Amino acid sequence: MSDNVIILAGGQGKRMKINSPKALCNVLGEPMIEWVMKACENAGLDEICVVKGFAGEQIDAYVEGRSSSAKVSTVMQAERLGTGHAVMMAESFLREHTDGNTLILCGDAPFIDADTIKGALELHQSKDNGVTVVTSVVDDATGYGRVIRTENGIAGIVEHKDCTPEQLKVREINSGCYWFRTADLLEVLFEIKPNNAQGEYYLTDCVELMINKGKGADAFISKNPNVALGANDRRGLLKLNDIARMSVIDKWLDEGIEFTCIDGVSIGTDVVIGRGTRIDSNVELRGKTVIGEDCIIGRGCVLENTVIGNNVSLNYVQAYDAVVDECAKIGPFVQLRPDTHICKGVKIGDFVEIKNSTIGEGTSVSHLTYVGDSDVGSNVNFGCGVATANYDGEKKFRTVVEDNAFIGCNTNLVAPVCIGRGAYTAAGSTITGDVPADALAIERAEEIIKEDYAKKKLAARTKKFEDAHK
């Protein structure tokens, strides 16, 4: 039996005022459709068809670019004629899976979860249903279709505007998520008619058609109170982000993570945090970031796909695709660019940028320094204002600084160059050649004074300024 998924992602989201599909709008840094696909994959469903529409090439690009073992294909809905019409566009996909069940989801309802998907399928199969609707019980059902129950299942779904006064009291709503027996869906799908003011084909009509044909129909009430939530505009999207943000923070509070203030704190769903760690305000943890135990992630930190060891202290640090080993102390105002490895016990001070480099154990890079494409040993000291000149305009070269070296203030290391073990460079030097171990390198030009040079330059600049403002 082949159970599969159709995700409806053809909406433009005009009220979002964007030039991309609504399903690609982000919640906690990930497109809403990604949340939906991950829920499917976590439920063990690996055959997915995405129905695209407006700017469909962007959906294609996203699907092709994501890393997943799932088999994901796309089909085009050229005209936006309703949810039923969107599913019709996936007819070929459905006919390839007539021996199984099809899950239909909305690509802009990100809070569907694996437990709900699996629970609904279990009910669907145990009762041999033609259709099982995923529902939610809410305090305020305004705007949602009501699920009308019977003793043995459901009698149908009534849209809010069509409800009787008695039906308006119903708090069980349609989430827009359905399990269909695929063969039964194909039997009724092309019988639905656009008999409504919008002239659209509603997928909910398939439920009524199945009931009329004697197919089993029931509803699974999700324990997830947000399963039906979507967003039609920026306010709605902000609400989704707030819900998701607090859900993740609540999870980590339960795990013993300390938050001194949650203002501006945003943590991705794939982030891992070790016990005893403290998170301060205005911290963003993105992607597959992993943080060890007993860390301090101070104010203003942004970590993306970065691994942090135990007992690390960060303060106003931005790190992308980097690794920081245990007991490092970094910040404030430090950027760690991709492929940077900060080893155990390293100290990095203010206004330092490190890129594609390894900084060895116990090394100190105190302030106002750029280290790029470098291999730095242990117990090295960088003075203020050091820069590695790693790029000649065409190619990049590496700098090597061996253990126990001392790099004086305002030293320029012009790669490729190697500073030997225990060697020193004098402040203000521009080092263009290798320095032997235990040596002192002094590379400064003789001071030359040119009288009245600055006066002539100032006169030329002044004339240029005056000519430009006549």
Residues involved in catalysis: 367
- Both structure tokens of 21: 């599909």
Rounded CA separation 122/126 (Å): 6
User: Rounded to a whole number, what is the largest CA-CA distance in the chain?
Assistant: 102
Q: Which amino acid is at 368?
A: L
Residue with tokens 């949650």: 262
* Residue 99: count of CB within 10 angstroms of its CB: 11
What Cα–Cα distance (Å) separates residue 406 from each residue in 133, 389, 413? Answer: 69, 17, 12
- The strand pair at 26-27 and 30-31 is best described as antiparallel
Contacts of 108 (CB under 8 A, 6+ apart): 9, 11, 13, 22, 23, 25, 32, 33, 230, 231
CA pair distance 29, 51, nearest whole angstrom: 22
d(Cα 14, Cα 294) in Å, to the nearest integer?
46
Q: Which helix (H) or strand (E) holds 456?
A: helix 453-468
Interatomic CA distance for residues 307 and 288, integer angstroms: 8
Cα separations (Å) of 341 from 56, 338, 361?
A: 39, 9, 10
Is the link from the previous residue into 332 a cis peptide, with omega within 30 of 0?
A: yes
